[in-house]
Amino acid sequence: MTTEDDPFHDCELDPEAILGTHTFEDVLFTDETETPVNVLTGETPAHSQATVEEAKEFAASIDTETPQIALPASVESQVETQSKPYTAAAFFHFKATGSLERHRAYHAAYESDAFAVDFEADYESGDLTITVERTDED
């Protein structure tokens, strides 16, 4: 296999590191995601009030070929930019998978015909499960 044929040639991890099913716990936007509170009123600002359904719809509305998930936005960014408490990112984003190395490996597998990549986003628990299997074309 030449470097051009190897989807992992630019990756720090080899496919073995991501094969199978991996669950990343408490990484998705949930109803429990922390939001800022106005210390004077004790209320959450209107821009930070959101439901999981809104977050899922937002993630699904992003026009890209890579499926998106809703991740929690930091309280700091919500306050500074008056943004929603969620943001959208590719399902293998390093904020969800925990490292840039995993992000690159999942991306390589997703882009390659040699692997089947599937994911399940459980917005109740906040868990993201990614499954990678080799295809028969290998």
Rounded mean pLDDT, 100-127? 96
Q: Which domain holds residue 111?
A: 3-134
Mean pLDDT, the chain, integer: 92
Residues 64-98: tens digit of each pLDDT: 999 999 999 999 988 898 889 999 999 999 999 99
Q: How confident is the model at residue 36 (pLDDT cuts 50, 70, 90)?
A: confident
pLDDT at position 35: 86
Number of domains in the chain: 1
Name all contacts of 106-109 with Cβ < 8 Å and 24+ positions apart: 106/18, 106/130, 106/132, 108/7, 108/8, 108/10, 108/11, 109/7, 109/8, 109/15, 109/18
Distance of CA 108 to the CA centre of its chain: 15
> What share of the chain in percent tops pLDDT 70?
96
Pull the structure tokens for residue 18.
Answer: 């991501």
User: What's the pTM?
Assistant: 0.89
Whether residue 24 has pLDDT greater than 70: yes
